Structure 1
Amino acid sequence: MASVWLAVLALALAGPVPSALARARWPQRVPRAAIVLWQAIALAAVLAAVGSALAAPEELLRALDPEDREGTPMIVAVVVAATLAGLIVVRLVGVLVLLAVRTRRRRARHRDMVDLLDRAERSALLGQAGAKAVLRVLDGAVPFAYCVPGRAPRVVITEAALDTLDADELRAVLAHEQAHLDARHDLVREGFVALHQAFPVLVRSRQARDVVGLLLEMLADDAGRRRCSDAAMAGALEAFVAAGDTETVARLERVRARRCGGRALATGTYLAAAAVVVVPTVAVVIPWLSEALPAAGVLR
């Protein structure tokens, strides 16, 4: 039954659980802990899928008479289990590697482009303005800012943003982008994009990828709030809000409301993340191993 329980768990962690967590509002109060919880759910889903693939052939074999388990049936069960689990792992690793290569090539081209289009005279006047990464200023009538992570990171901001933001708001924006670069939030995003692409279409969900992206933005907003103030971060977000931009609106409302979870909520979220991984291992995997290993002749 371990294979069935693990398969059900994998499907639940890939669909209903992310759907329920995505609708909750409390994770926005503790974005760092909430991201760890999302990572734990993703890890547990992969481990459950691999565990189900490993357990199913062995449990079918154990249903046979003891004398029929030796020799060829045992070899076939081991090969089938290893093949099923290997396919899951290889697909995930393959998607992750391919995504990493394509992303880094695209970033290199993007970095070259912003270097070429940079308003050098404006960048020189602005200096680094508190940013550790190289700052680039682009022409543009729409205020926005973003970062290009990697070995040679860039923080990109438009002239419209510079004309709109005051000094404190600009520092808050740069602190926001620098937080993304320092914490390598791009690697967290890549992991969830890879999981989204690697999962079968029937159980694939965009919710984890989208919600984690929003939580990462909120985590960087908190860096801007600490560096400057709530008012400065809210003013910057207000300048960047565009029609239909529900994500920035949610971030702006959070900063204005000064939502910040307490230590108890963060601790509870971290404990929940640990439980998502540990409880299935203790409740399902260890009992299965205690029966499977003796049956295979590994332990007597």
Structure 2
Amino acid sequence: MVVPATLLLLGALTAIVAPRLLARADWPDREPVVALWVWQCVVAAVLLCCALSMTLSAAAAWQAVRGHVFASAPRAVVEAYALGVGAPWAATTAVALALGGVWTAAMLVREVTRARARRRLRRMEVLVRAPRLPGEGAGLGQLHILEGERPDAWWLPGTPPRLVVTTAALRQLGGRRLDAVVAHEQGHARARHDWLLHCSSALAGGFPQVPVFAAFRDEVHRLVELAADDTASRRFGRLTTALALVELNEGRGVFGPCPGGHGQVPQRVDRLLTAPARLTAARRLGLTAAAALVPVIPVLVAFGPGLRALG
């Protein structure tokens, strides 16, 4: 039971240390796409630690599971894991982790089901208010224009995705600023940010007592907006994108002393206007590679005894 316990300890250590290191780093706002990748690798490592620990604990507790896990392994490999040591706790650990896995899957299914229901209702509402005309819509998705007094634009994920723009946005923005808003929403659609949001919300909702999942959800919601802002600014400029953000949100009270539900907008505008320098390509590559190694560590810990026995 040494390896399963080590994996649980490694998962807990990753869940505690990684978010703190990322919170102290100064580069995530400069490279939101890389930061999203790092967060995904951290969460994947935590989940992988739990999954591998569950598998080895179940192998220690039940001979039938051990026979499947180590079906073709030499006897020396099985003995290297010392599965009989601490076996009384193995069944409890395996069952607890298995229940956690089932709960995670259930939360993800619930989140996706609710999101699809909300999306279906919004798509029906859009089609009722702005029915598609013959020959309308091309490219990445279909465009729908709704009558509305508040400037707004959003993508409805699906097949195909639909871009919805209000008439107030067309009147108030126009030109390159409207193009920047469309490019922002296209960035969300192309990167499939909706799936990241679903996964992070499912983990945070299913395990509210686990801080790493809450931090993952909050950072994903923030970083996907920064990444989409960068997509728009690369095509139409930072100033144009910042002005579009201001004009879309100035009537929502987000720039006052008590910002409303879009409280991140002022920070996004400041970021676009101050134009923080990007990391060098070498450093971006280094961070990406280092993050990819994080989920590899639990695999090495799990297979380490067996590889040493074979060696």
Q: Which has the higher helix share?
A: 1
Q: Does 1:41 align with 2:39?
A: no
2:220 alignment partner AA:
V
Select the residue among 100, 106, 113 that pairs with 1:101.
113
- Provide the residue aligned with 1:52 in structure 2: 53
Q: Does 1:90 align with 2:102?
A: yes
Q: After superposition, what is the alpha-carbon deviation per residue over 1:77-114, rounded to whole angstroms, capped at 9, x for unaligned?
A: 88666544432332222221222122112101111112
Equivalent-residue separation in structure 2 for 1:246 and 1:100 (angstroms): 26
Q: Does 1:198 align with 2:206?
A: yes
- Provide the residue aligned with 2:303 in structure 1: 286
1:112 alignment partner AA:
M
Q: After superposition, what is the alpha-carbon deviation per residue over 1:62-89, rounded to whole angstroms, capped at 9, x for unaligned?
A: xxxx9xx999x98x88866654443233
1:280 alignment partner AA:
P
Contact 1:15 1:205 in 2 (8 A): no
Q: What is the correspondence of 1:108-147 to structure 2 with a 5 Å cutoff?
A: 108-118=120-130, 132-147=140-155
- Provide the residue aligned with 2:280 in structure 1: 262
- Provide the residue aligned with 1:228 in structure 2: 236
The TM-score, its normalising length taken from structure 1, stands at 0.79
- Provide the residue aligned with 2:74 in structure 1: none
Q: What is the correspondence of 1:122-201 to structure 2 with a 5 Å cutoff?
A: 132-199=140-207, 201=209
Equivalent-residue separation in structure 2 for 1:78 and 1:3 (angstroms): 9
State percent identity of aligned pairs.
31
Aligned residues: 279
Per the alignment, in what secondary structure is the counterpart of residue 221 of structure 1? helix
Per the alignment, in what secondary structure is the counterpart of residue 206 of structure 1? helix
Contact 2:54 2:98 in 1 (8 A): no
- Measured on the aligned residues, the alpha-carbon RMSD in Å equals 3.4
Equivalent-residue separation in structure 2 for 1:90 and 1:100 (angstroms): 15
Note the C-alpha offset of 1:131: 6.6
Equivalent-residue separation in structure 2 for 1:32 and 1:107 (angstroms): 25
Per the alignment, in what secondary structure is the counterpart of residue 88 of structure 1? helix
- Provide the residue aligned with 1:272 in structure 2: 290
Unaligned runs of 5+ in 1: none
Contact 1:11 1:203 in 2 (8 A): no
Equivalent-residue separation in structure 2 for 1:186 and 1:277 (angstroms): 23
Equivalent-residue separation in structure 2 for 1:4 and 1:79 (angstroms): 13
Q: After superposition, what is the alpha-carbon deviation per residue over 1:234-280, rounded to whole angstroms, capped at 9, x for unaligned?
A: 11112234421431222212221223332123112212211211233
Equivalent-residue separation in structure 2 for 1:22 and 1:177 (angstroms): 27
The TM-score, its normalising length taken from structure 2, stands at 0.76
Per the alignment, in what secondary structure is the counterpart of residue 178 of structure 1? helix
